[in-house]
A and B are shown apart, each in its own frame.
Chain A
């Protein structure tokens, strides 16, 4: 009974230790992954039925959709069978490595040994030269030439008075494959930690508002942060006068226990981090209900400057004059058509403009659009300047909120992977033997060498060594 159990475990072990399983898994993961790039993931059914109609025809599409939906293809990378494939892949990777590691470890620990000059095995790189000097006189030259290739040669005397120099390097590079395997496991562990202990959410925060929760991406439920965060301002900067965005910026303030603890301006590539949570600039938008504040910097003809904050319909006086401006209209993105009419070309604040009517002692004086992005529209006919700073409180910043305690293991895995790949692909295990034995006309030098990678490259180096020896000695 005990034997039978053991053989089952053994068989299971052998199953997971096989490279065949690995190759089957590589193929399965690659092939099934393709489907998820054709079917849009987590999309509305209508979208994918349209795609399927094109692929399988009008009649079959709804049925095919239902079958694919049941099999989890609409969110396939999180489906039970794809996760199973990944788990099998991880087990295969671990057991394959464990199966081979002890053998490789013993090979690595084994020091390089001198060869038996009577019975030299067939080495892929073998050269012979004869030198008209005794073995002892060329010893130093030989040692130096081997050192030049980066080896530290050891010496073993031969019976006939000759000697043998032998060395190896890159011995540890044979671990590169296993270090790379380990790094993949580390990354997977980090990802699993992130899935189980992390938080993935969002927070749409209007200018001027504070929140002490973020909302989960999964079910939109509020998730308490343990601190609160306020959006002081949001702004899009454009390249020149174009509509190509250059920068999305949010000015955020963090409060903990009622006290302000952090202030930061975030951009797409520079998030805010606080107590394990990271806030990324992810999107933005206009509030449908929002009534904001127009902020102007007004400079009268006398040079006196004032910052003025008003809402729609309110009025202000230009300092040092009797001129009163009244805010009449606002456009988030003003454009002028060819026949001179103004219209709004976008819903976002691409080109904010405000229409102001100026009166002096109750009589209309002038009126027109003042645009935030065009300084020439700030100047009034009488020389005063009404700079449109911002229409504040009408936008929200869309923040991606993440907490991922596994990310450091993933990063560590990435570093380990880089080391493993370098060892596995750019380092090789090289061994070299130089057997110098007495011959009739001097010394017979036999050079034998192997490399487990890029043998041609190593052979060229050995050839250079031979030609150098021929020249120098």
Chain B
């Protein structure tokens, strides 16, 4: 049942991705609605999969890379609905759904066993710390997607190639605004994730900071976004620069998320 739900969610996300890619060439109200319907059904199945895993395992299903990757895409879809509801960003689905699908695909090829919690993870900080981190990372993922849309739109404006894609993408100004908004959601979440992680490490391991690779990389990511915020508010780095920075920031997020688990070692490699 758990597997069927996952596969079905993956299928619906895949369908939404195809519709999203087609939309880049020709879109109408009907295709946009179709994409949303597919995404919502996929999300419902995905939620059921996560809830089921939660009840079977008795804890938040993010303790191996399959679950983490799947839960991360779940967070991105959740945020996608929020942004879509708040800002009605044209063509956002075409940029988000392929990313969601890729995360789900990478999740699908990883071992899927439900394992009980190791003694270290048996703490109420586990849920708080990881939820903050996942939601923050999802906001950064969306910001990077919006940044990409910004660069594309900027390219059209520069080349004076004001075709149909240009017409349907949001304006540069609103893309820049949403980008900033997402980073100002992601940044406090990331900060609190680091803070709760530190408090947890203090109560479990007796040290709130030990320069473990995951800690260090999350600090690097944090400094990148501190840079983004200060460069924007104090040095006026908006628009194109902000778009590039949000993509660089997300690459750091990805490395902190996957790279550290797969390449570097440390106590966060408990997740593997």
Q: Chain A: interface secondary structure?
A: helix
Q: Chain B: interface secondary structure?
A: helix
* Partner of B207 from A20, A33, A402 at Cβ < 8 Å: A402
Interface size, A (range): 35 or more
- Closest residue on chain B to residue A399 by CB atoms: B206
* Complex alpha-carbon distance, A244 and B118, angstroms: 7
- Closest residue on chain A to residue B117 by CB atoms: A246
Q: Which residues of B contact A23 (CB under 8 A)?
A: 227, 230-231, 235
- Closest residue on chain B to residue A401 by CB atoms: B206
**Number of A-B pairs whose CB atoms are under 8 Å?**
107
- Decide if B122 touches A268 in the complex (CB within 8 Å): yes
Q: Which residues of A contact B211 (CB under 8 A)?
A: 36, 41, 77
Is there a chain B Cβ closer than 8 Å to A239's Cβ? Answer: yes
* Partner of B209 from A41, A191, A239 at Cβ < 8 Å: A191
* Complex alpha-carbon distance, A425 and B227, angstroms: 16
- Decide if B204 touches A407 in the complex (CB within 8 Å): no
- Decide if B192 touches A418 in the complex (CB within 8 Å): yes
Is there a chain B Cβ closer than 8 Å to A287's Cβ? Answer: no
- Decide if A245 touches B208 in the complex (CB within 8 Å): no
Task: Give how many B residues have a beta carbon under 8 Å from the other chain's beta carbons.
Answer: 43
Is there a chain A Cβ closer than 8 Å to B56's Cβ? Answer: no
- Closest residue on chain B to residue A281 by CB atoms: B119
Is there a chain A Cβ closer than 8 Å to B223's Cβ? Answer: yes
Q: Which of A102-110, A348-356, A373-381, A409-417 contacts B (4 or more CB under 8 A)?
A: A409-417
Q: Which residues of A contact B181 (CB under 8 A)?
A: 454
* Partner of B227 from A30, A191, A402 at Cβ < 8 Å: A30
* Partner of A37 from B205, B208, B264 at Cβ < 8 Å: B264
* Complex alpha-carbon distance, A282 and B207, angstroms: 11
Q: Which residues of A contact B161 (CB under 8 A)?
A: none
- Decide if B120 touches A268 in the complex (CB within 8 Å): yes
Residue-wise, chain A 26-66 has the 8 Å CB interface mask toward B (1 for contact) of 11011001101110010000000000000000000000000
In the complex, besides A33-B219, A36-B216, A270-B203, 19 extra interface pairs with C-beta distance below 8 angstroms are A19-B234, A22-B234, A30-B224, A36-B211, A37-B213, A41-B211, A77-B216, A246-B116, A247-B119, A268-B122, A278-B206, A281-B119, A282-B205, A282-B206, A411-B199, A417-B195, A421-B187, A425-B187, A456-B177
Write the residues of chain B forming the contact surface with A, with a CB cutoff of 8 angstroms. 87, 115-116, 118-120, 122-123, 177, 181, 184-185, 187-188, 191-192, 195, 198-199, 202-209, 211, 213, 216-217, 219-220, 223-224, 226-227, 230-231, 234-235, 260, 264
Write the residues of chain A forming the contact surface with B, with a CB cutoff of 8 angstroms. 19-20, 22-23, 26-27, 29-30, 33-34, 36-38, 41, 77, 191, 200, 239, 244-248, 267-271, 278, 280-282, 400-402, 407, 410-411, 414, 417-418, 421-422, 424-426, 453-454, 456
